[in-house]
Amino acid sequence: MQTRLSLLRQVLASNGLEGLILSEEATVNWLYEGRYHISVATKDSCALVLVTQDAVEVLVNSIEAKRLQDEEHLAADVIHVHPWYDDAMRSAILSQWDSRGDVVHESALVHEVQQLRLRLSTSQMADAQALGEQVAMALYETCVALRPSMTENEITGRLANSCLSRDVEPVVNLVAGERRASLYRHFLPTDAPVGSYAILSVSGRRHGLVVSATRMVNFGPVSLELQQKYKAVLQVEAALLHASKAGRSLGGVLQAGIAQYAQEGYSEEWALHHQGGIAGYISREIKAVPNLDIPLDTGMLVAWNPTIQGVKAEDTILVGGGKVKLITQEHHFPVTSVAFQDETYELPAILVLPK
């Protein structure tokens, strides 16, 4: 935490500021490596944090204070606890913070603060790798138990249970069967049975970090059309992975993927769904778009998710100097070797189960 506070104070110094009020859930999660939310459907932290050059103060209500201190590493020089029903007290303390000279809210420095979150420390990289393996295991455990008659909602519940039993929060949990997989790219589950095949996508969070992965399951022999599409989407993923080197721009990596889409005969598919980008304390901190001149750096999490109608590939990697390694992988799920230029990537295959 002291290292992260030092980084924040460098931002303050470079902007000629005395203090910064942190309010985004992702940033407070990053600072404390904890869970600073109540609902998973909010971007606001349940505690406000004032960081100055010589102190840290926290503003939190009486419901959350003890939990955050006992379980989520909350620590500060001063912790202001206000009754949950006393908005006037909360507002008064926040006004005191605002009245100090050269104190700004996080929204004024959102880009600078986000940049701090993107480069993981050695311990955070280890956390990300452990999380990735757990997410992959949750997907495998769910996939091998699937049956064609199961509904998308039922499978989503099983995947959530498998994640939560591993201390992983499924902040994104998508399942589609054979009919809806060809219609939509973000397939929120329904009561429809999956039928002949299913796509499962999950983003799992722990200690604030988020990694993402997708798996496909087919019941009985895989059709030639599905095989061809999935082979093509894996070639696109391999192109994206191959280009994900430190120093390469995010837009440049995406262009490599777009070129591979065209090479595979699906030149328009990339425009029908975002292809992924830099991950971290949000499932996608920065989504890749063409010509986006943001360089990748060692220690960044990157998650690519190329799609072709009816198929999807997705895994998360840590950018480094050596060969690209998927962190959302475990040894049970079948893989297929995908050659791209001078490298071969072992990527998840379609899991084939009995009808």
Q: What is the rounded CA–CA span in Å between residue 341 and residue 335?
A: 19
Q: Are strands 103-105 and 78-82 parallel, antiparallel or unpaired?
A: unpaired
* Whole-prediction pTM: 0.95
Q: Are strands 276-278 and 301-304 parallel, antiparallel or unpaired?
A: antiparallel
Q: What is the rounded CA–CA span in Å between residue 117 and residue 134?
A: 22
* Nearest CA among 257, 207, 238, 218 for reference residue 315: 238
The neighbouring-strand residues paired with 81 are 60
Q: What is the rounded CA–CA span in Å between residue 149 and residue 20?
A: 53
- Please give the CATH architecture assigned to the domain spanning 2-118: 3-Layer(aba) Sandwich (3.40)
Residue 97 three-state SS:
helix
Ranges of each domain in the chain: 2-118, 122-353
C-beta of residue 109 within 8 angstroms of C-beta of residue 22? no
How do the pLDDT tens digits run along the chain, 355 residues long?
999 999 999 999 999 999 999 999 999 999 999 999 998 888 999 999 999 999 999 999 999 999 999 999 999 999 999 999 999 999 999 999 999 989 999 999 999 999 999 999 999 999 999 999 999 999 999 999 999 999 999 999 999 999 999 999 999 999 999 999 999 999 999 999 999 999 999 999 999 999 999 999 999 999 999 999 999 999 999 999 999 999 999 999 999 999 999 999 999 999 999 999 999 999 999 999 999 999 999 999 999 999 999 999 999 999 987 778 899 999 999 999 999 998 999 999 999 999 9
Q: What tokens were used for 344? A: 């071969």
Superfamily of domain 122-353 in the CATH hierarchy: Creatinase/methionine aminopeptidase superfamily (3.90.230.10)
